[in-house]
Amino acid sequence: MVAAKFKPGERVKVMKSYPLGHVRTPYYIRGCTGTVERICGAFPNPEELAQMRDGLPALPLYRVRFRQKEVWPDYQGNGEDVVEVEIFQHWLEPV
């Protein structure tokens, strides 16, 4: 299991990367900055599982909270509205 690099409450940025293959990081959140809401545990890397490999060592999975107004600059609604997304550690960079 890979050790967790980030703590709840820490600011993180999702990598703006566009690799080929099966990826569980949605396009719309790439390049966005948010706050770690919690660490969900460690899970096999889905990008490896999709290639029929074991996905080990398991990677920390985070729930990251993003302000909607930062994800969508023209967002209509309360400035406190958020979207929370599960993101694997190798997609996150410190801010």
Partner 1 sequence: MKEQGNYRPLSYFQLMEVSLRELLVEKCILTDEQVNAAVEDMRARTPERGAKVVARAWVDDGFKKRLLENGTKACEELGLDVPALKLLAVENTADVHNAIVCTLCSCYPRMLLGIPPEWYKSRNYRSRMVREPRAVLAEFGLRIPEQMQIRVHDSTADMRYIVLPRRPAGTDGWSEERLAALVNRDCMIGVAVPKGPSD
CA atoms of 46 and 28, how far apart (whole Å): 19
Candidates 35, 85, 89, 92; binder of partner 1 (CB under 8 A) is: 85
What's the angle, vertex CA 38, arms to CA 30 and CA 5, rounded to 5?
A: 70
- Among 13, 30, 63, 69, the residue binding partner 1 under the rule CB under 8 A is 63
Alpha helix ranges (H) inside the chain: 46-49, 68-71
Rounded to the nearest whole angstrom, what is the least distance from the CB of residue 18 to partner 1 in the complex? Answer: 15
Residue 12 binds partner 1, judged by CB under 8 A: no
Residues 19-58 that bind partner 1 (CB under 8 A): 24-26, 28-29, 40-41, 43, 46
SS3 for 70? helix
Q: What DSSP element (H or E) covers 60?
A: strand 59-67
Check residue 86 for interaction with partner 1 (CB under 8 A): yes
List interacting residues with partner 1 (CB under 8 A). Answer: 24-26, 28-29, 40-41, 43, 46, 61, 63, 65, 68, 71-72, 75-78, 80-88
